[in-house]
């Protein structure tokens, strides 16, 4: 697939440190999850290169921070334009290394680029405050200043958007950045960095250090332990988030964590069932179920349960599964063999505990898994507690509103949640009662650049996107001026 790139120079295999592409002495292979084909060998760097990147970011900080917001705005806007002009090529690289259907990949490029556009605009609006004085001989001001050198560790499921959602606000705020992209999807990240360079982001302001799984752990240690880095933003598993939080404790680093979810999707008796079926499909099966906001547990009220599962399973059974470059494919491969094992273990466990497979349930040849719906799900199943991160929808039955709320909240996670109802009282009651950072009501897709994305409980810390997103990268400074 990569032979079809309109601009082959977007395919980079080095890391980018202080304005130079760095190949290093070792490499690791990147493969196509749909075919197993070898795509590229990418620089396998380690701790010392991470340190170099941090030093470069630190050296570049005064000049970048010294630009006006409008100057940073212009450069970021140019990066946004270049991302959109190269949407097809970036999407091609993304589908090749990540597997998501090409149309979805193009959608992610637009979504990823939208953060660059949004924060380019916000670069001009880091307004401070003046406060009423407590004595007439003084004046009190609050200014916002960039936090400094920032690090970003990103996952493979959104190889572009999880980078831009962190990097764009950091750069807009006047910070410099070191990125450690996921080892399974570095090529999308590198193409984005190439475009950032073309857009005029100065040397050292944006650096990326690539490595394999072991090297990522070493680089992660440097990013966490190095005192020059003042902020770490991570998207990935709760398990790794805990490790990073511990590693950041000695240097009291500011942290933004976007971790695992276990999203409930509730359908009440008064819901529009056709709309709920479409919402459940969009929420559950996008990216083959590999997003942190994917519905993980479907709760359907007794009165509409049979009607919902029948329509839902029929729609799911008709999905075309295959290589994301094939026309009409709506579900691609899973990212790696371990992901298939996890889905299979959740299916087997559910079946052993009385779950009824309505469609799917099996692995397909290669790295594919049938889109699966299991009825009669119960709270003792693994799927009730763990994030499946794959194309499996367990459907639980409930009787009362309170029962649904209690079941939805019975998890340590709190990222996204969804429910369908046409009753305005219920919409407020349930919307307020769900212990989640985000609630989709009569809708299955909620993410966009100008809303605060993030979770509560063990789903993380902080919010990305929206006008709040840039505050993550700004410190407040209070100036107290006397002798007026």
Q: Which residues are catalytic?
A: 258
**Which of 139, 385 has the CB closer to ligand ADP?**
385
Would you count residue 153 as binding ligand ADP (CB under 6 A)?
Answer: yes
Least gap, CB of 259 to ligand ADP (angstroms): 8
Residue 62 CB coordination number (10 Å): 10
Scanning 123-160, the segments in alpha helix (DSSP H) are: none
Would you count residue 13 as binding ligand ADP (CB under 6 A)?
Answer: no
- C-alpha span between 205 and 390 (Å, rounded): 36
Least gap, CB of 234 to ligand ADP (angstroms): 7
Contact 323, 365 (CB under 8 A): no
**Binding window for ligand ADP (CB under 6 A); candidates: 113-121, 151-159, 195-203, 346-354:** 151-159
Would you count residue 334 as binding ligand ADP (CB under 6 A)?
Answer: no
- C-alpha span between 217 and 355 (Å, rounded): 38
Give the chain's largest Cα–Cα span: 78
Least gap, CB of 211 to ligand ADP (angstroms): 8
Helix (H) or strand (E) holding 152: strand 149-153
**Which of 12, 180 has the CB closer to ligand ADP?**
180
Applying CB under 6 A, among 15, 52, 95, 154 the residue interacting with ligand ADP is 154
Applying CB under 6 A, among 150, 201, 240, 392 the residue interacting with ligand ADP is 240
Backbone torsion region of residue 69, taken as left when φ is above 0, otherwise alpha when ψ lies between -120 and 50, otherwise beta: alpha
Would you count residue 216 as binding ligand ADP (CB under 6 A)?
Answer: yes
Least gap, CB of 182 to ligand ADP (angstroms): 4
Give the dihedral of Cα atoms 166, 167, 171, 175; nearest 10 deg.
70
Residue 468 CB coordination number (10 Å): 16
Tokens representing 257? 């964590």
Least gap, CB of 260 to ligand ADP (angstroms): 8
Query: Which residues on neighbouring strands pair with residue 225, listed in sequence order?
Result: none
**Which of 334, 374 has the CB closer to ligand ADP?**
334
**Where in 178-197 is the site for ligand ADP (CB under 6 A)?**
180, 182-183
Q: Which residue is nearest to ligand ADP (CB)?
A: 220
Applying CB under 6 A, among 236, 279, 360, 437 the residue interacting with ligand ADP is 236
Would you count residue 142 as binding ligand ADP (CB under 6 A)?
Answer: no
Would you count residue 109 as binding ligand ADP (CB under 6 A)?
Answer: no
- C-alpha span between 275 and 300 (Å, rounded): 14
Helix (H) or strand (E) holding 312: helix 302-317
- C-alpha span between 325 and 162 (Å, rounded): 22
Binding site for ligand ADP (CB under 6 A): 153-156, 180, 182-183, 216-217, 220, 236-237, 240, 243
């Amino acid at each position: 697939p990569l032979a079809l790139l309109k601009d082959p120079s977007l395919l980079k295999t080095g890391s980018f440190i202080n304005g130079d592409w760095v190949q290093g002495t070792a490499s690791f292979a990147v493969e196509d999850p749909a075919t197993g084909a070898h795509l590229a060998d990418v620089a396998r760097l380690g701790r010392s290169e991470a340190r170099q990147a941090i030093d470069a970011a630190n050296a570049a900080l005064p000049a970048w921070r010294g630009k006006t917001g409008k100057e940073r705005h212009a450069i970021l806007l140019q990066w946004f334009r270049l991302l959109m002009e190269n949407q097809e090529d970036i999407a091609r690289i993304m589908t090749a290394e990540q597997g998501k259907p090409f149309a979805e990949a193009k959608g992610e490029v637009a979504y990823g680029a939208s953060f660059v556009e949004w924060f380019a605009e916000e670069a001009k609006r880091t307004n401070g405050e003046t406060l009423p004085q407590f004595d007439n001989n003084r004046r009190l001001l609050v200014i916002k200043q960039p936090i400094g050198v920032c690090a970003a560790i990103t996952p493979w499921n959104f190889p572009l958007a999880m980078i831009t959602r962190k990097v764009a606000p950091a750069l807009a705020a006047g910070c410099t950045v070191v990125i450690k992209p996921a080892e399974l999807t570095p090529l999308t990240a590198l193409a984005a960095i190439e475009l950032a360079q073309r857009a005029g982001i100065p040397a050292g302001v944006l650096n990326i250090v690539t490595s394999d799984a072991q090297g990522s752990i070493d680089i992660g240690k440097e990013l966490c332990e190095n005192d020059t880095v003042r902020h770490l933003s991570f998207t990935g598993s709760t398990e790794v988030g805990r490790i990073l939080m511990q590693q950041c404790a000695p240097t009291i680093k500011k942290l933004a964590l976007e971790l695992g979810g276990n999203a409930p999707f509730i359908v009440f008796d008064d819901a529009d069932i056709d709309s709920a079926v479409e919402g459940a499909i969009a929420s559950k099966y996008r990216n083959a179920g590999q997003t942190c906001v994917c519905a993980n547990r479907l709760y359907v009220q007794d009165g509409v349960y049979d009607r919902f599962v029948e329509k839902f399973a029929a729609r799911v059974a008709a999905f075309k599964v295959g290589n994301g470059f094939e026309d009409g494919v709506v579900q691609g491969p899973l990212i790696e063999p371990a992901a298939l094992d996890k889905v299979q273990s959740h299916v087997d466990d559910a079946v052993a505990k009385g779950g009824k497979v309505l469609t799917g349930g099996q692995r397909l040849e290669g790295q594919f898994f049938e889109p699966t719906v299991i009825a009669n799900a119960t709270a003792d199943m693994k799927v009730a507690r763990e994030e499946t991160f794959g194309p499996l929808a367990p459907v639980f039955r409930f009787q009362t509103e309170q029962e649904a709320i209690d079941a939805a909240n019975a998890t340590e996670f709190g990222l996204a949640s969804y429910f369908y109802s046409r009753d305005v009282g219920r919409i407020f009651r349930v919307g307020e009662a769900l212990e989640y950072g985000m609630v989709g009501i009569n809708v299955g897709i909620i993410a966009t650049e100008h809303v605060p994305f993030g979770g509560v409980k063990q789903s993380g810390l902080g919010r990305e996107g929206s006008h709040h997103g840039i505050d993550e990268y700004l410190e407040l400074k209070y100036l107290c001026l006397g002798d007026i």
